[in-house]
A = this chain, B = another copy of it.
Amino acid sequence: MYATVMHGPGDVRYEQVADPKIERPTDAIIKLSATCICGSDLWPYRGLSPQDGPAHMGHEYCGVVVEVGSAVNTVKPGQFVVGSFCLSDNTCPHCNFGFQSSCMQREFMTGAQAPYARVALADGTLVATEEMPDAGMIPHFLAASDVLGTGWYAADAAQVRKGGTVVVVGDGAVGLMGVLAASQLGAERIIAMSRHAPRQQLARDFGATDIVAERGDAGVARIMELTRGVGAESVLECVGMDASMEQAMGVCRPGGTIGYVGVPHGVSFDGQQLFFKQQRMLGGPAPVRRFLPDLMQRVLKGAIQPGKVFDLVLPIAQVAEGYKAMDERRAIKTMLRVDE
């Protein structure tokens, strides 16, 4: 088949590769209904994450099971499934504790920017729907696989509460999903930090009550003004840069919580500063599997439309343009059609 391979920074190709096949009895092969490009794919694209040789890209997926290994019991060919970008057995102590993204057998999904993909640990990773969903639902299910699940985890990690005040740092796809999650979890005030009009509008659509366009000290000052000098009890850090983390720490109240889901690049913390700020912090790759059944129900019921975050849809053969558009911030998130 043809699939997406990154040969180096800026060099993404849709080219012939070997068909995926069952390698272990716990594997499944799925035919993707759609796939997409993640903000984290831009790190190697921009040369900011080291990479050894060509890489099969893509870790967000939903689709129909076509084959399962002999040890797979919970999904079967013909079922529509969604899975997390973290592959997990969902039975180990860490999974049982709700942190499937730190599963003792954890693997990271790869090769999902393709018409077919192998999913390891299928029983622990995949969640099936009862019926085949309408085509219109596919973007929403696809979003649940990572970007929604990650935004949801940011809100969960930041201990968003009913009636609470939330700040979301970062207006990328994850940040926008964080706004949606905070809204669903009942936050009363959701302040989204964004300088871009289309993203501001999407943030409002997803439930933001306030938009702060300022950054740096001015951004902190504006939020302290909006919160009467107190700060927010929940802050979602959805970028992973030094400046965004500083922003988050600048607006979180003492005893408040920062949930950080942008993989930190060049970020470090001074212990004593962290101590006196007295902010609770939890980060990490999102344990999407914990949230997935609930998120899929919300999608099915029409309570959420996370797929609205895809503002560019391309046939997968044009995946290189999808990366380019996101790199140049012409697109928030690119969905790739694989149905032709």
Where the two chains meet, the residues of A that have a C-beta atom closer than 8 Å to any C-beta of B are 93-94, 97-99, 101-102, 104, 157, 228-230, 233, 240, 245, 253-255, 260, 263-272, 274-285, 287
Contacts and interface: CB of A to CB of B under 8 A. Distances in A.
A240 B267 CA distance: 21
Given A101-B278, A276-B284, A285-B276, A268 B269 contact: yes
Contacts of A269: 268-269, 271, 274
Interface centre among A269, A275, A280 (most CB of B within 10 A): A275
Given A97-B254, A254-B99, A254-B284, A272 B265 contact: yes
A278 B230 contact: no
- Chain A facing B: main interface SS: mixed
Nearest to A255: B99
A233 B97 contact: yes
Given A99-B255, A254-B99, A277-B284, A230 B94 contact: yes
Given A94-B254, A269-B271, 4 more contacts: A94-B230, A265-B271, A278-B283, A281-B282
A87 to B, nearest CB: 15
Contact of A264 (B97, B229, B272, B279): B272
